Structure 1
Amino acid sequence: MSHTALIPSHRKPRQSASKSALRAGVASGVLSTIAVAGAAGPAQAEPVTQTIEMPTITAGLSTTVAASAEATQQVALDLETQAHEEAAATTAAKAAKKAKAEAVRKAEAKKKAEAAAKAKAEAAERASRTAERTTLSAPSGSSSGSSSSGSSASTTSAPVSSSATGSAAAVVSFVQMQVGDAYVPGGTGPNSWDCSGLVQAAFRTVGVDLPRVSQSQSTAGTQVGLGNLQPGDILYWGSAGSAYHVGVYVGGGQFVGAQNSSTGVVQRPLDYDMPTGAVRIL
């Protein structure tokens, strides 16, 4: 062994060579890695560039936007159409409501007119039916009439004027005999009457054939004032020719008439139901 073998300076070249070789290997590996990384870098970037296709995305978006705009326009048109339809329906409803109100008003007016006409017709019918009542067995002479008149007067506590004679007295007697009978529209006796039926039947007993209805009876004779009445005169309510009720003046400021269903045939003072006028037949 050489005497210089143990000197450290003599061993350093070997250690440096080993380290250099190691360093050269590491450097070579790093360079290789860098080379590999460099080669791999472009290969990974290319797929990203190819995936983004802007023209395709832009075309699809335009189509979507156009479709959305068209749908929005259609919705707007639908809403406008709906608004027009609702406005038309509202107008039609108002017109229908107005027409209905007018129809109701006309119907009510017609109903009132019909009721008035019916009431007038019923009054005329009552007068007519009274005149057509069945003939009653009653005295036709003045003496028997006076006797009946006296009896009736005592029953009703309504004296008959002493001026009632002849046919007038018979008429007065007849109507007074019916006091207390029922009032029935269209009744013709012998126990139920309407106003004109009672008057017609009374005058029929003395051979006078009067019209059936009160309208005609109110013009059947000579018009006389209420201040110049005589027993046997026909009293009427309403206008001459369109009277709705009739009765017979019996003297003493009283009359007999078939008034209504509540009272029947009654004898009352004139002021109980003041007549409009009177006619004289006898």
Structure 2
Amino acid sequence: MSGKQAKEKRKNILVFGSTGTIGAAILNHLSMSHPAAQITAVSRRALDSSANFTNVTIHICDYGSDAALAQLSEIYAQQNSHVDELLITTGVLTAILDKPEKSAQQINQEELLENLRINAVIPALIFKHFFRLLTLSPAPRFGALSARIGSISDNRLGGWYAYRMAKSALNMFIKTASLELRRKNKQSVVVGLHPGTVKTKFSEQFINQTTKNCFTPEVAASQLIDVFKTLKPSQSGGCFAWDGTEIHP
């Protein structure tokens, strides 16, 4: 076994949301690019029957539940001494409404709360329950799918109230979490990752011939992982796009 393979074998990677379009592509890319790593995929439902991973352990878990995450972290800790990389690929554009709000008159209380829960609260709960295991890694990395639309300074069009608010909250969580993890481990990296526009059922109604930076899930996954693995501890707390550029708050 080469030195690189030995190092890779010790790497423990945890992926949440592995049945979504982007999440499945990320899991597939990681499985192929890290054949000796210990990869754990967490999903609310079974993976596609066509998925045939030899180096992936699958856990079915309602990761929107605090209690379920607590139990999962205990099970994971019995099988793995630490977490080297944790990726959260979950998220929604709308949770209840058919389309994002175009005006204040379309603001819906239930949409606001559920969008915030899925896009910001769940990543925070995952971080809470796997924090200790992250601190035990020599150089832990934590990444969550964010979006440019969560940037306050970049908001020039308005609208999309719930999604904008939720992603902005996620970005603040990422910054705050990065500071706490850094106190425990100076080599840590905690970031938001913006994939650009990805061709999914989620985005197809918003894609047209003028849409820029539109990628297949496979290309988006490759780009995000390349960015995620090259970011430095000094960049922790930020949000970064598919091409490595930082998205300012």
State the TM bucket, normalised to the shorter chain: under 0.3
TM-score (normalizing by structure 2)? 0.23
Q: TM-score, normalising length from structure 1?
A: 0.21
Could you say which structure has the larger radius of gyration?
1
More helix by share: 1
Q: Which has the higher contact order (CA 8 A, sep 6+)?
A: 2
